Amino acid sequence: MKGFIGKGLTVLCWAAAAAGLGCLPDRCVDPCYPMRYEYMARQSVNAAMSPQVQNGHVLDQTIWNSYFEPGSDKLTTGGLERLAYIARRRPCPDTLLYLQTAQDVIYDQSVPEKMVEARQTLDGRRIAAVQAYLTAQTAGRPAPFQVVIHDPAEPSLASTPVNSSVGQMYFRFMGGLIMGGQGGMGGGATGGGNQGGAPGAGGTGGANVAAGSGTGTGGAGGR
């Protein structure tokens, strides 16, 4: 029994020494920890997000019916600006564009097949109009733009929350630092010290600041 205990202690000592030196075989430890598992976690997150990213990019590359005058292949001012934006992407534009099939054609219940024919004709004319403008827009730096037809649902958000979000974003978009002890910028001055001085004409009294100085024409406060 004593011999078994002694051999066991010897093995444990050698194992501890090998672990301290980093010499344990790969079957005992993972030499790629934690990078291997971080990579696997990253891949699982990216795999879930990739379809959403691709769907968003397809919608961003879509030429909607609203970019044309109703029932025609004439691009509106907004449509021209959108195509110019797509053509100027950096480092290079994505040459695969998607055209929303024409939903602004007239439907006649008595002859429904005429709507199909009119839609196909209008889609072809709009593709030609888009390619013609992109060719002119990218003159000198040509790119092989391709336009394909698809029929997605138009994405939208309610206007009230969007307006609120944009308003708050601009409200927080400001520079400079908010610092105590800064005097008023009016006709009067602010007082410094623990007790605010008497305000001048149009100025305001300062309080709870270590040292303040006035910038207006009023009197400076006491300490």
Judge whether 102 lies within some domain.
yes
Please list the pLDDT of the chain residue by residue as tens digits (223 residues). Answer: 555 666 666 767 766 665 555 555 556 777 888 888 899 999 999 999 999 999 999 999 999 999 999 999 999 999 999 999 999 999 999 999 999 999 999 999 999 999 999 999 999 999 999 999 999 999 999 899 999 999 998 888 888 988 888 888 887 766 666 666 555 444 444 444 444 444 444 444 444 444 444 444 444 444 4
Q: Are residues 10 and 92 in the same domain?
A: no
Residues 24 and 97 in one domain: no
pTM equals 0.59
Listed residues 125, 150, 175: the one ending a domain = 150
Q: Check residue 7 and give its pLDDT.
A: 66
Q: pLDDT value at position 190?
A: 45
Spatial contact of 222 and 207, defined as CB atoms under 8 Å apart: no
Boundaries of domain holding 16: 1-33
Residue 215 lies in a domain: no
Look at residues 99, 118, 100 and name the one whose alpha carbon lies nearest to residue 108: 118
Is residue 213 included in any domain, yes or no?
no
If one counts the domains in the chain, the total is 2
Do 1 and 70 lie in a common domain?
no
- pLDDT, residue 22, reads 53
Same domain, 66 and 115: yes
Please tell me whether residues 26 and 71 are part of one structural domain: no
- CA–CA separation, 189 vs 174, rounded Å? 25
Asked if residue 70 belongs to a domain, the reply is yes
Joined tokens for residue 208: 């709870």
8 shares its domain with 86: no
Closest C-alpha among 78, 150, 65 to residue 105: 65
pLDDT of 194: 45
Q: Identify the domain boundary among 100, 133, 150.
A: 150
User: Do 7 and 73 fall into the same domain?
Assistant: no
